Structure 1
Amino acid sequence: MTGIGWFAAIIVGGLAGWIAEKIMKSDMGLIMNIILGIVGALVANWLLVLIVGSTLGGWLGQLVVGVIGACLLIWVTRMVRGKS
């Protein structure tokens, strides 16, 4: 499996974080969107490999995985902080 590279990961992570921000109706900044998107993609990829045995590849696949992962991270953060 080949990755998309660091520069692409930042672009896709920022886009994934922004989409997740809109879906979850949260108010984050650009840097936090990038971090959520990248970390969310890592977490979601890890979960996909555990559950399914593989992950989605390419820019679009990583965007989808990043959005799902970032939404998951926003949800977990809200549960820990107790905010709705």
Structure 2
Amino acid sequence: MPTLGLIGWIVIGGLAGWVASKIKGTDASQGIILNIVVGILGGFLGGWILSLFNVDVAGGGLIFSFLTCLLGAVILLTIVLKLRK
């Protein structure tokens, strides 16, 4: 299975960041660029967290990559919201 390229990371990261911002209620304060950044950083965070539990994140496919990015993005937004208070 091929790994995601740059465009794949932008698309999946953008979608995951947007969905995470909807879940956390921060969509009104974020634009598309910040959604993409949150999703991509969330992908790294989610991948790191899942690797701590010995989950193979490299061979998961597109849906698993999206869910990994979504998990990390929600965690990232939760941390950011806690730090803002």
Instruction: Note whether the superposition's TM-score is higher than 0.5.
Output: yes
Percent identity (aligned): 34
Deviates more, 1:19-28 or 1:47-56: 47-56
Q: CA RMSD in A?
A: 1.5
CA distance in 2 between partners of 1:3 and 1:76 (Å): 28
TM-score w.r.t. the length of structure 2 is: 0.87
Alignment of 1:58-73 (within 5 A): 58-73=61-76
Q: Which residue of 1 aligns with 2:13?
A: 13
Alignment of 1:69-80 (within 5 A): 69-80=72-83
Give the deviation of 1:57 after TM superposition.
1.7
Residue identity matched to 2:4: I
| Stretches of 4+ aligned residues off by more than 4 angstroms | none
How many corresponding residue pairs?
A: 82
Q: List alignment gaps of at least 5 residues for structure 1.
A: none
TM-score w.r.t. the length of structure 1 is: 0.88
Q: List alignment gaps of at least 5 residues for structure 2.
A: none
